[in-house]
Structure 1
């Protein structure tokens, strides 16, 4: 009897199971999505883009370019509907060419997602579970350069070890280099280098401009008056004024006078003001700005003390500071001249000095005006064939 009941029970359960499942399979309104509904894909977008170009001085207007195929191709159109895990590469263009680390510093750290390298010229983002904001700042890379007196070859100066890397040669003609360069300044207003040469034999000290696109020199002032007499002995160093004039320190002899002169960009001498007083700069005459573009500092030498002279642009206020030499193997001030001065964007003042002892050596030092010190950094040249002048700060994109 029990066996019959169990068999009947199994038969009924099987019939119910088959009918229930058949009913589901045969229902035309039931789909597999009802059983396992799909997960909707989430997309992300770039909601904001920003380029800080306050410290960018090269031509053109900066914009982003985007790539979703590992740099295989780029587009100016902002990508949309990005998925988690997508790789987005972004670089910067100035309207004509892409810009790179060789000439500029990059900072992508302001973006909402950190790229693989926040200082690269190409930012590589991996999309996460959020929208993306992209922010970059671009800053000129400014190099310190010096020029070999006898060859016209310019070198990039590495302050960490005093190394010199060839950059370009200034050319007086197609075949002849411009030699005996003394002062150099880059003019951001017209993109030209302005350089002075020193007198040598029958050759007078002159003022030139150099076009960085081909490094050809153009004579701007050949240093003669209406009677063909020379006006100055040497133009020693150069800076650009707020009014786009070329300010220069001059050595004038017979009688000896040092002066601050102003040239326009065509090379015309507009004005020359003599340094006066019982104590005025005489030798070396390296020139740069002081605490503002209304204050100059002038370096001297060949005296029993190395001095810095602070003045306004009209030379009506003159302050004299005596520098203590630090780190020089030869600390006899009379053997040195401050030939060039540079005040960089970080507020550091560098000096190029010549040491006239057994040989003529070239040194780089830091001028510490707070502590009245001249701190040795490196000797970059030994002897006449390694004699350098023209210490200048030049943006890397210019050459």
Structure 2
């Protein structure tokens, strides 16, 4: 009996030990699992945050476009558009030399919230934030650099926290003489025209009948993106008027067609581009010519990234039976009716050639200053 009792106690000790060992093992496992789960949660949260920042970085890379840089010693005005899918915050504006030397900035150091731009919207930055450059010289080539970041990554209390995600865009411009006034300040709502192209017969200079009685117009820049109703007036040499209307995008690189009551009109022609919704800056285009010989049948104002016109292209329609030597003259006028410039070139058109493109170099002229374009064609 005593021997059996001792065996019973020994077996009990073994069972209790096993239970304690199991409990310790399970407890340690639960502890390790809890630690691992907590670490995994933190890791996943960190990874998700980093992934979100990476996605926003991709979405905002090179997604801010310059639309206009107007910079003088008196007025400084820049328009940029957000073409990203997320809101963007502009944090810094710099003026730098071509070699990258900082000439001026706003703010003077660091970053700040200058303005927020919603997707597909534009913002106008004025002299309050576009820095003046006291060390810049007249006609010095410079770069406007604008820093930005996805708005959800920007912290007003600590702007430097998102400095690694900030990106910038640049536009080249030329510093004007200090104090140079603008010829034509921009109105609140505006659209630009840089191509007007009436369809004409090359030999006679007449606009054909329907369905080809068209004038094509391009509207590359505007104060805002949208649509506008645009009216066209076409006047022929006898003073007869023709009209056309179309609803067009305010900003587009596509030629917009206008068909109207001007079939049979013959050069010289005057085309006026008007709108009740926007101020059309380049309103009047005159197409000179000699009926039956040669005429201007289309005009393009070629501008650079800063919207300065350096070349005027004239599409010349010629009676291929006669050919000839012709002097083509481009004269530009500003919004006050004052002549900006006049330049001519003489071309020889051999018999058998019915059209030619004539390129006329002109001094750099802001597209915003041009209101009236007159093309003259005469025998040389």
Which range, TM-score by smaller chain? 0.3 to 0.5
Q: Pick the structure with more helix per residue.
A: 2
Q: Output the TM-score relative to the length of structure 2.
A: 0.33
When normalised by structure 1's length, the TM-score is 0.32
